[in-house]
Structure 1
């Protein structure tokens, strides 16, 4: 039986702040068609979870201990180039934003973005992975 429903989007949340991880998990779990496959507190954990769970979309903090998000994004894209990465940061450093433009991430999103906008962004990026013909690369929010 064929279904016209959107496929379940597999999302990984990576942030060194427990409250941020918990808040994002709650907001995303409330959405139909989104499955949180894991929560990681640094880039090294994120890479391990990507190898294990193969998420469609990753919300990836840029500044974390052990391994930062920019370094982790290169490893993640080498594991699965189609994984969509949202660089998620509160830093206002213009150099960091320039670096994120050259890193293998798909979208840069500031942490003060409204939750509804972030959820919509996750869904859009999830559609890129599940429908590669509708790929419009390198947006910013």
Structure 2
């Protein structure tokens, strides 16, 4: 579990993000990518659902980027608990699985969006900056499928 603090000095226009993912390489790449955008401040990272809930309660981020499949506690249960301990925190589920069932359970648990890990960085940043107050699912279409 890591806490990260930036030099941005508490600007109100910055969206504070917590990254929760058990794959260190993905989590670190995600934090580096998000760190480039001055509108986003990564305030911490966790490698399990349990750590994620604990950090969400302590740090009160604006948005949690939550993986689904993690040790100790999966992202679905962690999302439920984050919404309990920090009701104003929005959760965006980020998963490698293209499963409508996972998306359904994520949204039912309180996630506001469900994105796949192959989502382009700019689309993820847009989701963080503009996560609506209503639940949405990015259309889960196989890569091979073409959309007319």
1:21 to 19, 27, 36: 27
Long gaps (5+) in structure 2 = 1-10, 139-148
Cα distance in 2, alignment partners of residues 47 and 118 from structure 1: 21
What RMSD over aligned residues (CA atoms) do the two structures have, in Å? 1.5
Cα distance, 1:140 vs. partner?
2.1
Give the number of equivalent residue pairs: 128
Q: How does 1:95-134 map to 2 (within 5 A)?
A: 95-125=101-131
Which residue in 1 is equivalent to 2:59? 53
1:39 is matched with which residue: 35, 38, 45?
45
Instruction: Summarize deviations over 1:31-64 as a string: whole Å, max 9, x none.
Output: 0121111011011000111121110001000110
Among 85, 93, 96, which residue is 2:99 paired with?
93
Aligned to 1:80: 86
Partner Cα distance (1:77, 1:101) in 2: 12
Which has the larger share of helix?
1
- 1:6: how far off? 6.2
| Alignment partner of 1:69 is 2:75 | yes
Is residue 17–residue 61 contact of structure 2 (8 Å, CA) maintained in 1? yes
How far apart are residue 136 of structure 1 and its match?
A: 4.2
- 1:89 positional shift: 0.6
CA contact (8 A) 1:6 1:33 kept: no
C-alpha deviations, 1:73-115, integer Å up to 9, x for none? 1111111212110011111233222222322111111111101
Q: Which 4+ residue blocks in structure 1 deviate beyond 3 angstroms?
A: none
* Structure 1 stretches lacking a partner, 5+ long: 126-134
Report what 1:139 is aligned to.
Answer: 136
